[in-house]
Amino acid sequence: MSVSNGFERLAMVASDNERAQAAAHELRQTTEFCPIDEAEAVAVIGGDGFMLQTLHQMLDQGDIKPVYGINLGTVGFLMNRHRKTGALLDKINRARAFTIAPLRMEAVTQDGATTTVCAINEVSLLRETRQTAKIEVSVNGRVRIAELVCDGVLVATPAGSTAYNLSAHGPILPLDSQLLALTPISPFRPRRWNGALLPDRSRIELRVREPGKRPVSAVADQKEVRDVAQVTLEIARESELTLLFDPGHALDERIVAEQFIA
């Protein structure tokens, strides 16, 4: 049985790369688009980086709409395959919706300034100099590791678990797992600690020890805050995002398939 999302007003944004611009030009010949503030859904043409950029703009502006990605970038994990056949609006109305909740990062710098920003994939803390970082790890107010000596540490959502987290040997999380991955980056001590899986209702606090001698930056997707003293992380339930995927090419299936790639 086919299911229609019922969208009638569609907006489109495209990255600056030549292939994405060419596809956008073709779509304008066959599809009527409206401004984003009038749209019910948005077609995003480009790669994963451009998709993240678009989603962050929606979060920043407080105008969150369902998005349908068309891959004309490199990896395209968050995107659909580019197919020239079929009407775009029909494809979007047949698409399956997935809701993802970003991480909210509250970072306090050494001089006391506070920055609050959301991350869709992950938040990573990284050493800024040749000195290893020393980070205290607390979960729900309880110190779990008094001193993690490392190049860094990251917290990934299920949607981001196949990105930087996987490269750092973290686990792949099914989209509906309701978990977060806490993954060390090149840990020196405790050397055998491989990370932790935490319920996504957890509140995670990462406090930098000796921040003057061992400065650390915090990166929430594409937003960097340097010289942090403490970072607090929790899921931003009020900022859920909806991604639309073609039947048979949904994000949850891609996450499962990624675990069987040799």
Q: Tell me: is residue 138 an annotated ligand-binding position.
A: no
Q: Tell me: is residue 166 an annotated ligand-binding position.
A: yes
Q: Tell me: is residue 18 an annotated ligand-binding position.
A: no
Q: Tell me: is residue 121 an annotated ligand-binding position.
A: yes
Q: Tell me: is residue 48 an annotated ligand-binding position.
A: yes
* Rounded distance between C-alpha atoms, residue 168 and residue 151, angstroms: 11
Identified catalytic residue from 16, 48, 90, 111: 48
Q: What is the 3-state secondary structure (H, E, C) of 42-76?
A: EEEEECHHHHHHHHHHHHHHCCCCCEEEEECCCCC
User: Residue 63 catalytic?
Assistant: no
Q: Tell me: is residue 162 an annotated ligand-binding position.
A: yes
Q: Tell me: is residue 218 an annotated ligand-binding position.
A: no
Q: Tell me: is residue 37 an annotated ligand-binding position.
A: no
Can you say which residues are annotated as belonging to the binding site? 48-49, 121-122, 151, 159, 162-167
Q: Which residues are known to be catalytic?
A: 48
Residue list, annotated binding site for NAD(+): 48-49, 121-122, 151, 159, 162-167
